[in-house]
Amino acid sequence: MRFKPLGKTGLDLSVIGFGGAPLGNEFGGIDVADAERAVHLAIEKGLNFFDTSPYYGRTLSETRMGEALQGKRNQVVLSSKCGRYDFDAFDFSAARVKTSVEESLQRLRTDHLDLLIAHDIEFGDREQIINETVPAMRDLQRAGKIRAVGISGLPLKILADVAVRAKVDFVLSYCRYNPLIQDMDVYLTPVLQQHNIGLLNAAPVHLRLLTREGALAKHPAPEFVKQAGAAIVQACLRHGADPAIVALQYCLRHSYAASTCVGMSNGREVEQNLKALDTQIAPDLLAEIERIAEPVKTTTWPSGRPENQDA
């Protein structure tokens, strides 16, 4: 396993992070025993970054993660979130941030979080995030409840703006850097590098679009983006490559992101993701992927309040 520093937090993360959304049945039902074994196997294989949220499975992911990490908590960098609690339930107030963390600590069976992330801030009021949410998170940091403060979301420009103005420690960006889309490096990465703010990348397979199975019907991307994703999958298969491994390996090449977080729920997925560490994308396949992605590589979908969109 390789490790990289997360900005100036003092934390070194495994370059592959264990995404906890599947533990909350976000992509369908799972075998709970298999999921617990996956957590244990990931730790044995050197992964130390584990991410969850009260939103994933509406607290189910945190509960299952806490159970799986019993006796192993000190071996991991544990991340959870606050602010988003259901599909359309958001509360970024200081009071809710603090009660949310206490609830997360109970579910995760720990006395502190290493990383706390304000979840999908584009659904909140930007000034509240800066002037109320992040200060409340800093209060928790001073109280020893968390070690580092971050934000997450889909639109990039609000992440860059809030990161600098609120002086957060790191940012988690998803679905903005993978073989299909790379505009994270246009709008976000340079700003974070300039201010030595850490960066986490997530969703390397673009919410399952870049997998053999393909995206779920509810995938929010425009149809022509889905078609480009399917074409990349077929290109990988023609070259005898697993598209999910190619997508993760592509993300692991990023020079600044400390870790790429990918959802896992069983040992097979852990083993498959580990293959990306030693996989090289054939130059001709990479060229074909870049050709397919060129027309769509800055195309995403609306998320959050209108005033928080990138356009």
Catalytic positions: 56
Q: Which sign, positive or negative, has the C-alpha torsion 68, 74, 78, 82?
A: positive
- Helix axis angle, 283-293 relative to 243-252, nearest 10°? 90
Q: What pairing do the DSSP bridges indicate for beta strands 3-5 and 12-14?
A: antiparallel
Distance of CA 23 to CAs 13, 101, 234, 268, Å?
21, 19, 28, 15
273 Cβ neighbours under 8 A, 6+ residues apart: 16, 244, 245, 248, 262, 264
Tell me how far apart the alpha carbons of residues 100 and 85 are, in angstroms, rounded to a whole number: 9
Token pair 């359309």 is at which residue?
A: 88
Percentage helix, strand, coil, to 5, in the chain?
45, 20, 40
Q: What pairing do the DSSP bridges indicate for beta strands 146-153 and 84-86?
A: unpaired
Which residues are 89's β-sheet partners?
86
Q: Which long-range contacts (CB under 8 A, 24 or more apart) does 160-167 make?
A: 160/187, 160/188, 160/191, 160/192, 161/126, 162/121, 162/126, 162/129, 162/130, 162/134, 163/191, 163/192, 163/195, 163/197, 164/191, 164/195, 164/197, 165/130, 166/129, 166/130, 166/134, 167/134
Token pair 């509406």 is at which residue?
A: 58
